[in-house]
Structure 1
Amino acid sequence: MDEKDIEMLLAIQKTHSITHAAELLFINQSSLSKRLQILERRLHAKLVSRTNQGVQFTPAGEATLQTAIEINKLNSDLQETLATDELEVRGTLNLGCSINYAQYELPALLVAFQKQYPKVRLNITIDYSRTIYQRLLANDAIDVGIIRGEFKGPLRKIPISTEAINLICQKSSDADKLQELPFIQRKTDYHFQDEMNDWLTEHQLSVLTHQTITVNNLTSCVEFVRHGLGWAIVPDIALHNFDGYHQALQLNQHAFTRTTYLMAKANTLNLPVVDAFYEVLMRERQQNKKA
């Protein structure tokens, strides 16, 4: 299995489509199908099957894919190791990042990182924190993750920031009549959802007399509140341009907060490219605090 075979398998895993995988690799569908058939003949096994949900890996395909992922990781690690002998950090930063951090913080951070380390290639995956965490555990094309919230497990985690959790509504008078207004809730991780439920229970709001509106992201949640459609519980990260009423909350007589972590397996944190990224990340955090 050569490098092109590995790229093909990873593209199929990412897209679940021969057509889209070919587009991702900038080749035509016929060439990709032919390469897949050649690999199947060489391995004497059928690797994929077509279903209503798209292209799926067979058991033999899953085993081959895992080998491809491991080889790709070894190649990446080798590049990082060889780069340690040079003055410039180079290689690939395989970064997974939570959706909210990616929207509000990551772009400026990557600009600063690329300015200092132009030889590093960026491979960025943006998804829910739980998904990024699971992919880190599975060695699934992500070396280091920026993850919001609490996840227990074997990964090393370094706190990046801790922010307040806020009650927000369009105007201050709305805070006195929460039972009469819709609660705008959003999809989040289980731990934070449990904490929100505890806060609602603590303030006799666990059973709301008005409707609840559910949205799928933090930005929509804040925009709904901005337009007077209800109230919400959100972290500081979402309040950059919010001009309504907001109040930092307490939970169980302590500040209600949410922490963002840099997470990775212990050996990955020693890679030069990961160490360089952490250095830039923390420097940018300090500069933002002073600004």
Structure 2
Amino acid sequence: MDERDWLILQTLYAQKNITHAAQALYISQPALTNRLKQMEKEFGVQIVTRGRRGIQFTPQGEYLAKCADDMVHRMQRIKENVLNMESNMSGTLRLGVSTFFTDYKLPGILKLFKEEYPNIEFKVTTEWSSHITHLIYNQDVHVGFVKGDYGWKDQKRLLFKETICIASKDKIDLAHLPDMPRIDYRTDQNLKMVVDHWWAENYAKPPLISIDVDKAGTCKNMVANGLGYAILPSMILDDLEDLHKIELKNAAGEPIIRKSWMFFHEESLQLNIVKAFVEFIERIDLMSIH
């Protein structure tokens, strides 16, 4: 079993489908099937069974698939430790980034960091903040960028704060908000709970959702075209000056604040590339990056 075999097992266990696993690994289906047969021959057991709904792992296959996670992580750490012994800064920095951060901040950050450290490569996973927290906890990524508070106990840095706003093309009377067309979008559970709580505190009936889209950026563009109002984090709206914006406030009359954080493990700072990236984020002005 080599590193590639463990990666095949890990991916196959996640996908439960040979075709999808082959696509994720960028290899042909026959090549994957052949490697699987070689693994079964090496261990002398059947790893998977094939059925109408895809594949099922045998008990022995389940055990090997769980071992695969440990083996892939172990090989990753070995490679990182070897590269860490080099005097020049090189290697792959694994980042877990919330959707908003990917769209609005990450490209500029990576461009500036790459200018300082041209030999460092990036592997970026974009997910909801709740999932990024899970990835950083399991050390699947070196550094995580999340929005909202998730009870992270290891190292974290506050990146910036923002308010949450009602945005519309025309002025809005808050008393009439429940009867006005709202544009909604998919967002992380943390922000959804904050907005839903605010709504329940102020209105007795649900909002009138007229359009439902998948991304905040699409939602913003629809608001800019006068198709309805939306409730969005303020930073998304910074480039639109002609919109009318009203900050959400809590029962005490204070603006509701949403924080963005950088999470990482203390032990990860032993890797030169992680230490360099964390120090880079700490010294740049994130608010000026677009």
Q: TM-score, normalised by structure 2?
A: 0.85
Write the letter of the residue equivalent to 1:109.
I
* Dislocated runs of 4+, deviation >6 Å: none
What residue is the counterpart of 1:190 in the other structure? 189
Change (3 A) 1:287 1:192: closer
Could you say if the C-alpha distance between residues 48 and 149 of structure 1 is closer, same or farther in structure 2, counting changes exceeding 3 Å?
farther
Q: Is the 8 A contact 2:3 2:75 kept in 1?
A: no
Supply the distance in 1 between the matched residues of 2:209 and 2:286 (Cα, whole angstroms): 42
Q: What is the CA deviation profile of residues 241-284 of structure 1, one whole-angstrom value per residue up to 9, with x for unaligned ones? A: 33421233322332211111112333224422222222232333
CA gap 1:54/1:109 in 2 versus in 1, 3 angstroms: farther
1:288 aligned partner:
288
Contact 1:154–1:265 under 8 Å retained in 2: no
**Which secondary structure state, in structure 2, belongs to the residue aligned with residue 162 of structure 1?**
strand
Amino acid of the structure 2 residue aligned with 1:179 = P
1:172 and 1:245 in contact (8 A); partners too: yes
Using the size of structure 1 for normalisation, the TM-score is 0.84
State the Cα distance separating 1:157 from its structure 2 match: 2.6
Q: How is 1:41-52 mapped onto 2 (pairs within 5 angstroms)?
A: 41-50=41-50
2: CA distance between counterparts of 1:265 and 1:53?
40
Question: What's the CA shift for 1:217?
Answer: 2.2
Give the whole-Å Cα distance in 2 for the aligned partners of 1:227 and 1:6: 50
SS in structure 2 opposite 1:214? strand
- How big is each residue's C-alpha offset from its partner over 1:31-83, in whole Å with a ceiling of 9 and x where there is no partner? 22101111122223433455676556555434323322222222222333333
- Aligned twin of 2:224: 226
Instruction: Work out the number of aligned pairs and report it.
Output: 288
Identity among equivalent pairs (%): 28
Quote the residue 1:201 is aligned against: 200
Counterpart residue identity of residue 102, structure 2: A
Partners in 1 of 2:244 and 2:207 — Cα distance? 22
CA 1:173–1:268 in 2, change beyond 3 Å: closer, same or farther? Answer: same
Question: 1:287, 1:201 → 2: CA distance?
Answer: 32
| CA shift for structure 1 position 29 | 1.9
Q: What secondary structure is seen at the aligned counterpart in 2 of 1:167? A: strand
What are the residue-to-residue correspondences of 1:95-114 with 2, within 5 Å? 95-114=95-114
1:38 aligned partner, one-letter code: Q
Cα-Cα RMSD: 2.9
Equivalent in the alignment of 1:9: 9
Letter in 2 for 1:149: G
